Amino acid sequence: MFLLNFTRAYPNGSSLPEQGIWFIWHKQGLVVSANGDVLGVPEDEHALLAAIERERVLHLGSLQDRPALAFTLSDDVELPAGFRSMNLRDLYGRVNDEHYVLAGYATQLLQWQKQANFCMVCGTALLPIVGEWGKKCPSCGHTTYPPVSPCTITLVHDSGGDGRRGDDARILMTHKEGWGPRYGLVAGFVEPGESLEENVTREALEETGVSVSGIEYWRSQPWPFPHQIMCGFFARYGAGEVRIDAHELDDARWFTKREIRAGTPVIPPPLSIARQLIDHWMARAL
């Protein structure tokens, strides 16, 4: 989701806004105001401000001219009545969509600020770079920035062309230990020296033993768990029998449109690009 109404800000030494929309990380979750089942990101909440050290606040930017501010509360701070901390995944669909996207942005920056304190080359304490989110070593000059790790996620299908059609068309789905009944799609991190398309080909072959062709980029999705960018692809089955990499998966198999409509298997939640790829493929007339 691209935020047309959001203008990014970068550290420049200017004074922070006194009020705004607060993205507060506490005990591995985002702080939300809770009024029964109604959840919201805090705005100008004076009950929370007393526990916030202003020098550690990040000014993310402005959403519809409202400052967006981020901060990490110590775990030993007790939240005031009416507030609670919730896992970012569990908040999907329960808070304003724009606030949810900014919560992912805030989470990645807050975690990086906490972790990137010393130079990985010489161990000297890092200093912030004015006007950027990066940090620089005053000793050796090494600079570092919040990481973004590219991954591909691919819906491998055998539909259309000379393949299967209608409800008999199939997609290749994968399963890992601990996922319960839910199945996912072929995915993996892009390695150095590798294009996105090469990664799609390699991951399909390594994880499931099948080759693919007709690789088609679809769209991408920021995935702040903790700092990925998921690049979604469609690819046609080329050749090979399914043979899983037991170090990566515990199962991989083909499922037809008919089976998916019937609820077998359990598919990823709407939050994920995996589900969006599946929904898009299901709606295609193939």
Q: Do 6-115 and 149-283 agree at the fold level?
A: yes
In CATH, the architecture of 149-283 is: Alpha-Beta Complex (3.90)
Tens digit of each residue's pLDDT (9 = 90 or more) over 226-266 = 999 999 999 999 999 999 999 999 999 999 999 999 999 99
Q: Quick one: pLDDT at residue 180?
A: 93
Residue 286 pLDDT > 70: no
pLDDT score, position 251: 97
Output the DSSP codes for the chain. ---TTEEE----SPPPPSS-EEEEEETTEEEEEEETTEEE--BS-HHHHTT--GGG-EEEEEETTEEEEEEE--TTPPPPTTEEEE-TGGGTTTS-HHHHHHHHHHHHHHHHHHH--B-TTT-PBPEEPTTSS-EE-TTT--EE----EEEEEEEEE-BSTTSB-GGG-EEEEEE-TT-TTB-B-EEEEPPTT--HHHHHHHHHHHHHS-EEEEEEEEEEEEETTTTEEEEEEEEEEEE------TTT-SEEEEEEHHHHHTT-SBPPPTTSHHHHHHHHHHHS--
What is the per-residue pLDDT for 54?
A: 80
Question: Domain ranges in the chain?
Answer: 6-115, 117-146, 149-283
- Judge: domain 6-115, CATH 3.90.79: yes
pLDDT tens digit sequence for 176-185:
999 999 999 9
**Residue 115 confidence (pLDDT):** 93
Per-residue pLDDT, 46: 81
Residue-averaged pLDDT of the chain: 93
